Amino acid sequence: MATIYDIAKACGLSPATVSKALSNASDVSAATRERVRRTASELDYVPNAGARALSQSRTWSIGVLCQDASQMGLWHYLFAQVIESFKDYVEQHGYDIVFISNKVGNLGLSYLGHCRYRRVDGIFIVNADHAQKDTRELMESSLPKIAIDFEDDNIGCVKTDPDESMRMIYDHLYKLGHRNIVYLHGERGKYITESRIRALEKAAADIGDKDAMFRLFPSHYYSIEGGYDSMKHLLVATEESRPTAVIASDDYSAIGVIEAIRDAGLSCPKDISVVGFDGIEITQRTNPKLTTIRQDTKAIGEAAAKNILAQINGEKVEKTIALSPQLILGESCMDLNK
């Protein structure tokens, strides 16, 4: 394997100059940098990651944690797209990503232990059980870090603004004449669940219509089957006061909700309108096309990447980054005013 000394000999330069050229140092001319890089490529030179890490006090790797009880992880369109965006951005700045788990061989490492084992420079928590001991330990560590849809005193977050999102949904349904609305929310106690419930309750209160009925009903995130089962139970529980509109916890659940409506001999949207959340591509190919809130996965990934890199470089960062949602109007909502 070629070394810096081989490149120096081939170029007629000192090893120090070659090292500077490969590090894009400003005191080496562009012509010299290009000659060194071309020679390095011809000699199949590969930088020594360990030496680079020691010389620059960083490993040029960032951990990504994407695990929870739902087992969706990288199967979920939203998370996969966010990670791809994050990956693209950090790679442009010289970083690799490392997926973090607490099941590495037989080492018995926690999430933080795995981060230390890999010596990552920062951690991006995409999806995790934030109450779990290993996750808490990681969030309370001194590592540069940021999460999606969760924040506390120890960690900041990137999120699609829940207040704006839920107001868009409620106002849209209200303008269509819906006064009996149910929110099939995800697991209670989760940061994002409580944020969206508070936002929806405020949107409903701000309307000030005493005839409007807004109810909560438990469901699950990221589960077609969970959405289906919750909708079946809802139909039984509300037989005397069936809702005209249902807001699903997310788009996967919304698919199950629509299926349950059909299996009950009802129609979406004629009998019950349905709204999702996330804006995953497949829901714009379903029948009916889903009305939903689109989260900008590219912007989420890039915002998280910029935040992590700024922390690694010792810069001050915003603790909370709230991105604007987009309401996608599909065909799953009925206008009751007509």
**What is the full per-residue pLDDT of the chain (338 aa) written as tens digits?**
678 888 889 999 887 788 778 877 777 888 998 999 899 888 888 776 555 554 556 788 999 998 865 555 566 788 899 999 999 999 998 889 999 987 765 667 889 998 988 889 999 999 888 999 999 999 999 999 999 999 999 999 999 999 999 999 999 999 999 999 999 999 999 999 999 999 999 999 999 888 888 899 999 998 899 999 999 999 999 988 999 999 999 999 999 999 999 999 999 999 999 999 999 988 988 899 999 999 999 999 999 999 999 999 999 999 999 999 999 999 999 999 98
Ordered by where they begin, the domains of the chain are 4-47 (1.10.260.40), 61-158+298-321 (3.40.50.2300), 162-295 (3.40.50.2300)
E strand intervals along 34-179: 61-66, 96-99, 123-127, 145-148, 157-160
Neighbour count for residue 50 (Cβ, 10 Å): 10
Residue in this structure with the two tokens 């959405």, named with its chain if needed: 227
Cα 84 off chain centre by: 10
Strands 180-185 and 245-248: parallel
Q: Are 157 and 318 in contact (CB under 8 A)?
A: no
Q: How far apart are CA 275 and CA 297, in angstroms?
A: 19
Q: How far apart are CA 228 and CA 215, in angstroms?
A: 18
Percent of the chain topping pLDDT 70: 93
Bond into 288 cis (ω within 30): yes
Neighbour count for residue 292 (Cβ, 10 Å): 28
Q: How far apart are CA 144 and CA 61, in angstroms?
A: 12
Tell me the angle at which helices 4-11 and 30-42 cross, rounded to the nearest 10 degrees.
120
Q: How far apart are CA 194 and CA 297, in angstroms?
A: 22
